[in-house]
Amino acid sequence: MNALSSLSRAMLLGFLRDKASVFFTILFPLMFLLLFGVLLQDPGVSKSDVVQIGAVPIVDQMPADARARIGEVAALTKSTDREDALAKVRTGDIDAVVEQTGDTVVLHYSAADQVRAGSVRGVFDSLIMSANTADRPPKYSLDSRQVEDASLKPIQYLTPGLLGWAVAMGATFGAAMTLVTWRQKKILRRLRLSPAPTGAVVAARVGVSVGLALVQTAIFIGVAMTPYFGLTLSPFWWMSIPLVIAGTLAFLSVGLLAGGVAKTAEGASGIANLVVLPMAFLSGAFFPMEGAPSWLQAVSQVMPLRYLNEGMIDVMVRGQGPSAVLMEMGVLLGFTAVVSIIVVKVFRWDDV
């Protein structure tokens, strides 16, 4: 065995034999997936953006009080470009598209956000019901169409978000803990006194973390795809693999920074928690960010986890092509590069 493989093996065994690490890295996020998947609750939503294509008489001719009621939950805008509007629903930029052919009102929505889709559907349901009470038999009918595959369930958007959080946590804690405990136990010093190249130590950590992240991904997708949860992957789901790798690198650098600054394992774990947990909430890993105040959304734009989550939802659920997540991957890798430079500055072989 060479230095790289034996160090990777030592790191992996050290991880696998620590039951607490295995639990918090792999099982703990999985518990959240099960919990949220089973008990999905309405988090309360802000106004939905609905785009109207062409003439929709039932909307155009609705009475003022009905218009006001709709105005409370949805912001209506008009557009003539049907394809563009539908694409925006798919990417989550707008929440629904409404059009009317004859007496049928067609509502296009995305299953990536069930809650919002439900509230928009509710609005149009009641609108059509009130329009129908005048004439009988019912004149108008509502045809709601999901822009994605019709079989989507909440697990579809929970899986990418929670997986992103799990990957971020695993990479951050793995790197921070290795760095601090190896420094405290003088293993780093011992390695520096051996002819093994410094790069082998870093490469071993990167390799082990990326490997674990991919195992996490496989377990998450595997559990989510069981019939009970019923996850169906979009055709470009495999793009989540390079995304997970880029995300792992980004959070490895965060972990190395935490481990470089902290003196003890407790300190490193504290810093890692302080970074990852609020970031998970602010990046939409647990719930959508659309309902948050705009300043909070601006904050979330600087969080690397936000880009990992967006990218994961794009390729795993929204069915977008590989090129759609290049920007997200670029942000993650750029973040990695910047943090790595700081890591090199604060790195210490020894406590003193």
Partner 1 sequence: MGQTIVVRDLRKRYGDVQAVNGVTFEVEEGEFFGILGPNGAGKTTTLEIIEGLRQADSGTVEIFGQSPWPRNPKLLPRIGVQLQASAFFERLTAREQIRTFASLYGTAQAEADEMLEVVGLADKAATPAEKLSGGQAQRLSIACALVHGPDLVFLDEPTAALDPQARRNLWDLLRDINKQGRTVVLTTHYMDEAESLCDRVAIMDRGEILQSGAPATLVRGLDSMTHISIESGLLSLTEAKALAGPGDDVTDDGVSLQFSTPSPAPLLAALAERRALGGLRVRGATLEDVFLHLTGREYRA
Contact positions vs partner 1 (CB under 8 A): 1-3, 5-7, 9-10, 13-14, 17-18, 181, 185-187, 189-197, 349-350
Nearer to partner 1, 134 or 352 (CB): 352
Q: How far apart are CA 228 and CA 180, in angstroms?
A: 41
Nearer to partner 1, 17 or 136 (CB): 17
Burial (0-12, 13-18, 19+ Cβ within 10 Å), 110: buried
Nearer to partner 1, 37 or 170 (CB): 170
Closest separation in Å from C-beta 219 to partner 1: 22
Q: How far apart are CA 266 and CA 279, in angstroms?
A: 20
Closest separation in Å from C-beta 179 to partner 1: 13
- Residues 6 or more apart whose CB falls under 8 angstroms from that of 162 comprise 29, 32, 33, 36, 220, 285, 286
Nearer to partner 1, 67 or 189 (CB): 189
Q: How far apart are CA 208 and CA 350, in angstroms?
A: 23
Nearer to partner 1, 4 or 223 (CB): 4
131, 58 contact by CB (below 8 A): yes
Nearer to partner 1, 18 or 81 (CB): 18
Nearer to partner 1, 67 or 348 (CB): 348
- Residues 6 or more apart whose CB falls under 8 angstroms from that of 200 comprise 2, 3, 4, 7
Closest separation in Å from C-beta 10 to partner 1: 5
SS3 264: coil
Closest separation in Å from C-beta 16 to partner 1: 9
Closest separation in Å from C-beta 214 to partner 1: 23
Q: How far apart are CA 241 and CA 217, in angstroms?
A: 8
- Among candidates 151, 283, 145, 284, which has minimal Cα distance to 225? 151
Q: How far apart are CA 44 and CA 59, in angstroms?
A: 25
- Among candidates 300, 328, 318, which has minimal Cα distance to 88? 318
Closest separation in Å from C-beta 9 to partner 1: 7
Closest separation in Å from C-beta 203 to partner 1: 14
Nearer to partner 1, 67 or 190 (CB): 190
Closest separation in Å from C-beta 204 to partner 1: 11
Q: Which tokens sit at 145? A: 């169409």
Count of CB atoms situated within 10 Å of the CB of 281: 17
